[in-house]
Amino acid sequence: MSQVARFYSGPGELVAAISSAFDAAGLDRADLRPVDLAPVDEFHIRGRAATLEIMEALGLTADSHVLDLGSGLGGPARTLAELTGCTITGIDLTPEFCEVATALSEWSGLSDRTRFHVGDATATGLADTSVDGALTVHVAMNISDKHALCAEAFRVLRPGGRFVVYDVLQGEGGDLHYPVPWAYDSSTSFLATPEEMRELLPAAGFEVISEVDSSDESLVWFQQMRARIQRDGPPPVTFAAFLGETFGQMAANQVANLAERRIRTVMFTCRRPV
């Protein structure tokens, strides 16, 4: 198992832990919807709101086949499948994440439109021009060879198809405060700058349609989440289920990193030329 996959792998039995937490909260697993799972499976800054922006940028229909590179617990995939009717294939390096993603799709009635496979986002094994859209959400910061990631997205995408990258980028405020939710230290953290992304995507062949910096909104999102937890208590299942006891420090560092402009959250919408 790679160092990155080990970072995201919890103490084991994550499916059972999440199931027990839902049972304790009185949530019927036979009646779950993706919005109910968002506190644990939308594992990215601004959560479901960001996923909805990605969905709009991709311009999906019920006939679309979409690739999620680094699909994690499958939150974005399920949200897109539920709201557009599309079919999504998720590729993730962490076997336990794929196991949990498959279970959560079964519980929410979306296993027919979402499939999750263990694999490398830079070498998926999918056929050339085999998908209508592609996305990657808070994944490239763990990948040193970002050109390989972008080139793989370009290869599998049909001409005219869109690729959305929503990622944490290096800000101008200096080195990060560690740990963060994707790394304990700089050994597995590979943040690109906005300037580097502006070069990487066209170098892979993409036309960049838009670039949206949501860093200010991200900071507000963290502040609102903290206030909500203080008021109502934490949701039944949170990211701490697989990040463990250090999650509190990771979250605090994220807020500091954003406030001090050490990180930026940016979404690039790209198109493979026809």
pLDDT tens per residue across span 145-203: 999 999 999 999 999 999 999 999 999 999 999 999 899 999 999 999 999 999 999 99
pLDDT digit string (tens) for 101-116? 999 999 999 999 999 9
Q: What is the CATH number of the domain that holds 176?
A: 3.40.50.150
Residue that wins the pLDDT comparison between 22 and 255:
255
Predicted pLDDT of residue 40 = 75
Mean pLDDT of 211-218: 97
Predicted pLDDT of residue 42 = 81
* Buried-exposed string 38-57: b where 16+ CB fall within 10 A, e elsewhere: bbbbbbbbbbbebbebbbeb
- Burial of residue 224 (CB within 10 Å: 0-12, 13-18, 19+) is exposed
Predicted pLDDT of residue 246 = 78
pLDDT band at residue 5, thresholds of 50, 70 and 90?
low
Mean pLDDT of 92-105: 93
| Percent of the chain residues past pLDDT 70, beyond the cut | 91
> How far is Cα 217 from Cα 207, in angstroms, rounded to an integer?
26
Q: Which domain holds residue 255?
A: 3-271
The residue behind tokens 């953290």 is 189
Contact indicator for 68, 236 with CB cutoff of 8 Å: no
Q: What 3-state DSSP class applies to 89?
A: strand
Instruction: Examine the pLDDT at 39 and tell me if it is beyond 80.
Output: no
Mean pLDDT of 72-94: 96
How many domains are contained in the chain?
1
> What's this model's pTM, rounded to 2 decimal places?
0.90
Predicted pLDDT of residue 33 = 84
CA–CA distances in Å: residue 227 to residues 65, 230, 231? 38, 5, 6
